[in-house]
Chains A and B, each alone.
Chain A
Amino acid sequence: MIEVEGLSKRYEGLTAVRDLSFRVEAGDCFGFIGPNGAGKTTTIRILATLLEPTSGQVRVDGHDVLERPEEVRRVMGFMPDYYGVYPGVRVWEYLDFFAASFRVGRSRRRAVVDDVMALTDLAGLADRDVATLSKGMKQRLCLAKTLVNDPRVLILDEPAAGLDPRARIEIRTLIKELRAMGKTILISSHILTELSDICNRVGIIERGELRATGGVEEIRDRVRPRRTVVFRFVRGAPQAEALLRTHPQVDGVSSAGEECLRLTFDGAPEDLHRLIKVVVDAGLPLVGLEPEKYDLEDIFMDVTRGDLA
């Protein structure tokens, strides 16, 4: 649905994006993550036909963004990171304007506006001046606006930025709902825990280059093939340590507190049961097992080096 091949964008004295390539398949929710200044917004603005790439090809739903920008805009819903609303315009008028701008017929427009307001929980605010809405409501309004033309592809740049926890959860729920509706979504965000919850694939960008791309599990296996687990015993941790050190799949054992061992092993999650069996067969009282947390944030920290483009 979205194909980016060898994309580069150079400004005077600065390369914002360098030879970027990735694909987002139909129905995917692709998390686009990277530190500030990494080139996320530049890439997104090129996808949204707002910036001209220096080189490379970008296609959205098969349409080249440079050759067929009108077609791209027709199939795409775009939500920028910063945007303004029109003071003096009511919520339904705002959505009606965008529906009209996307050539939604006069007879169908009312129903479309009602539908997107219901979906984004804005129906109760239909007659409010958009300038008086809270930040969270404005985000929902902007998301509603991106839906009026029923786009197949949604490009959302930091949709949850600056929101309070409740508003963040509401936006996340909404995006999940959209994904369930079959939309292809490309979303950039700094709140990585939330992305891991809603995205099936991610791309990590730094200094304008793509460091890693794929499913979260896939990247984790690639970035850190060894797994770490904490074993908790009633007693006998030293004996267990001696026993486990001899196991061929175990890379290292260290103390993780009183009667606790941190075990690093090389293998798939199903290999863990063999290690548990070794300990249990030796009669050692194992009472707890905690795989050490390794989520998108850890992947991000491992993949990126923390320097800017």
Chain B
Amino acid sequence: MTPPAVLASCLWRLLDNPILAKDLRAGFRRRRFYVAHTACVSVVGLAIALAAFIVAEGARESLTPDQVGGVLFWTFAIAQYFVVLLVFPAFACTSISEERVGQSYDLLITTDLRPWEIVVGKFLVALLHSSTFLLATVPLVCIAFLYGGVSPWAIAGAYAALGFVSVAVTVYGIYISAIARSTALAVILAYASVLVLAVASAALVAFCVEEWRDVRRELVEPILAMDLAWKLRGLGVAGWLVGSLFAYFFLLALNRLKPAGANTSTNVRVFFLVFSAVTILGGLGALVWYWPSTPPHGMAADWIARVGITVSAATLLVTSLLCLSGVMAFSTEFEPTSLRVLRARGRWAGPLLPLRVLYPGGASGSVLSLGWSLVLLSTVAWGLVQGLGLREVGVFMGARGWTAIPLSVAAVWTLLLLFSQTAVFMVRLTGSRVVARLLVVALVLLLFFVPLFGFVLGERSGGIAQGYFLCPPLVVADIWALQDVFDPRWHVGAPSLSAMEEAVSAEKLRLGDAWVPALEYRLRVEMAATGAPLAQAGPAAWGVLGLVLAAARLALEAARRLAAPVLAS
């Protein structure tokens, strides 16, 4: 078979999943689907109407049409993001637990379907089912296009980010659904985790964007200086880390559905070792390769070191997270067999001790690696304090030099103790060890992201007023919008693209060695800003199309309702 034929066959097998047809039929026929759909469209519509009202007020202060369109689009993007956060977990986290609660689980898993087919089927159903909520609100956004000011890239960027968040939330929801014994527990766990992840990812994206936009910061220079190949490599690393996390949750969900007595650790063990080896060795290799040599693209050697430490710390953090979630998944498989056998024979297991750190689901391993990642993170925090001048913010306030370290450690361990005590309390209250373990996972996420979030909001963005960073799709859209700022095609009266290139070349020649790539960015922004933003005819046509689609949808729904009694008879 040729590769395309193999691909087509795999795709067909994926889509020929019996669960897809069954669950979609059942889901779409439920009354609650129509109610939820209508409510969702109404809420998003209301948000846009509200934004339009505010914009109309602002119009008195002479807002241009493209600015009005922009505001409406941002509002829509925020609303869509919250639709994803609210709707997607609801469908994903109940998909398998509902089978348990509805007592159809035993019937399902005693069929000839493989566990992976069940997990993939449930994943696709949850994703498709939830996506209809996003699609239903698309016509509303077209109102923004009537005003212009929103480039196709901004739309593509926002939807790409929304798609990514949707997949992430669905994969995680399916995992929760597979481990939770009741629907109520699944819903609580999913929404609590999504909340933490949403805040964390918002903080991370906001941090990156702020660094990107602020040309005076040291971090932005090497990033701006990177050519496309290097940027793609960076994206590849991010994709590897995120994809691995998806794969891990997929494996855990799959193992939960395996028959009684089946091997539920080998696949995770292999995954875990490959992931750790590639990430840690890759990170160290990159560090060794680039540090002693001439730093590429003007990157300072100490920055490479900082990046190396950060990658190692992040890797170990992910490692400990995986270990902790492994503890949740394999409560009976705590240790490598080799260690258990050695102990049973009364022999010293010292040489095999490192296995504990690398073993998924090992309680002691997870504690060790968690501890180590915290040490490394503290080091990184100290690096941030020293390197980025974040002393005036949050827990680092007043810290100078080495005093930042005990302060960081104290902050981290205070949070750790707080959460562990909460976890113990929850165990006594609910009797659920799963709740406690998830709290610990939440703690780890919070430990890493909350201070970061504080830095971003407190120091970089001028406080909570810039809270739109809470919405990553908006931020991604903003990046593309920013790109458009120096794209002369979208600015009437701005210098042409070739004129801009000439000006950049001339500036490079003029400055000589003093030239830094970040200046190119600033120069382009300044030149583009001399023109007026273009009111776009194309997006306006999109708007008309959107309104037609909205009307068609309403007409179809009305026809369906009118025809229902006739069809039933």
Cα(A49)–Cα(B104), bound, Å: 15
B-facing mask of A199-226, CB < 8 A → 1, else 0?
0000000000000000000000000000
Q: Residue A88 contacts which of B26, B104, B112, B261 (CB distance < 8 angstroms)?
A: B26
User: Contact at B25–A69, with CB atoms within 8 Å?
Assistant: no
* Residues in chain A near residue B19, CB distance under 8 A: 97
Q: Does chain A have a CB within 8 A of B30?
A: yes
Q: Which 9 A-B pairs have the closest CB atoms?
A: A69-B259, A100-B18, A101-B111, A84-B102, A88-B26, A84-B103, A52-B260, A52-B261, A88-B29
B103 — nearest CB in chain A belongs to which residue?
A: A84
User: Contact at A66–B106, with CB atoms within 8 Å?
Assistant: no
Closest CB in chain A relative to B124 CB, distance in Å:
15
Q: Which residues from chain A sit less than 8 Å from chain B, CB to CB?
A: 45-46, 48-53, 65-66, 69-70, 73-74, 76, 78, 80, 82-89, 93-94, 97-98, 100-103, 142, 145, 149
* Residues in chain A near residue B108, CB distance under 8 A: 101
User: Contact at A89–B25, with CB atoms within 8 Å?
Assistant: yes
Contacts A73-B259, A88-B29, A97-B22 known; list 4 others, CB within 8 Å: A78-B106, A85-B104, A101-B108, A102-B111
Cα(A53)–Cα(B104), bound, Å: 22
A-facing mask of B3-45, CB < 8 A → 1, else 0?
0000000000000001101100111011000000000000000
Q: Residue B111 contacts which of A51, A53, A82, A98 (CB distance < 8 angstroms)?
A: A98
User: Contact at A49–B260, with CB atoms within 8 Å?
Assistant: yes
Q: Does chain A have a CB within 8 A of B564?
A: no
Q: Does chain A have a CB within 8 A of B110?
A: yes
In chain B, positions 51-83 with a C-beta closer than 8 Å to chain A are: none
* Size class of the B contact interface (CB-based, 8 Å): 20 to 34
User: Contact at A48–B110, with CB atoms within 8 Å?
Assistant: yes
Name A's interface SS.
loop
Given contacts A84-B103, A84-B104, contact A78 B18 (CB under 8 A): no
Given contacts A83-B103, A88-B29, A93-B22, contact A66 B112 (CB under 8 A): no
* Residues in chain B near residue A93, CB distance under 8 A: 21-22, 25
Cα(A70)–Cα(B261), bound, Å: 12
User: Contact at A50–B107, with CB atoms within 8 Å?
Assistant: no
Q: Which residues from chain B sit less than 8 Å from chain A, CB to CB?
A: 18-19, 21-22, 25-27, 29-30, 102-104, 106-113, 259-262
Among B22, B103, B109, B262, the one with the most A-chain Cβ atoms within 10 Å of its Cβ is B22
User: Contact at B261–A69, with CB atoms within 8 Å?
Assistant: yes
Cα(A50)–Cα(B110), bound, Å: 8
User: Contact at B112–A49, with CB atoms within 8 Å?
Assistant: no
User: Contact at A145–B30, with CB atoms within 8 Å?
Assistant: no
Q: Residue B25 contacts which of A49, A50, A88 (CB distance < 8 angstroms)?
A: A88
User: Contact at A69–B113, with CB atoms within 8 Å?
Assistant: no
Given contacts A83-B107, A86-B22, A88-B26, contact A66 B260 (CB under 8 A): yes
Q: Please list 26 pairs of residues, one from A and one from B, whose beta carbons are closer than 8 Å in the complex, sorted by A's number.
A: A46-B260, A49-B110, A49-B259, A50-B106, A50-B109, A51-B260, A52-B260, A65-B261, A66-B260, A69-B260, A69-B262, A70-B259, A73-B111, A80-B103, A80-B106, A83-B107, A86-B102, A89-B26, A93-B21, A93-B25, A94-B22, A97-B19, A97-B21, A98-B111, A101-B18, A101-B111
Cα(A53)–Cα(B259), bound, Å: 12
Cα(A13)–Cα(B12), bound, Å: 49
Cα(A149)–Cα(B109), bound, Å: 14
Cα(A145)–Cα(B29), bound, Å: 22
* Residues in chain A near residue B110, CB distance under 8 A: 48-50, 73, 76, 78
B114 — nearest CB in chain A belongs to which residue?
A: A70
User: Contact at B18–A97, with CB atoms within 8 Å?
Assistant: yes
Cα(A70)–Cα(B116), bound, Å: 13
Given contacts A51-B260, A101-B18, contact A88 B106 (CB under 8 A): no
User: Contact at A73–B26, with CB atoms within 8 Å?
Assistant: no
Q: Residue B261 contacts which of A66, A73, A74, A76 (CB distance < 8 angstroms)?
A: A66
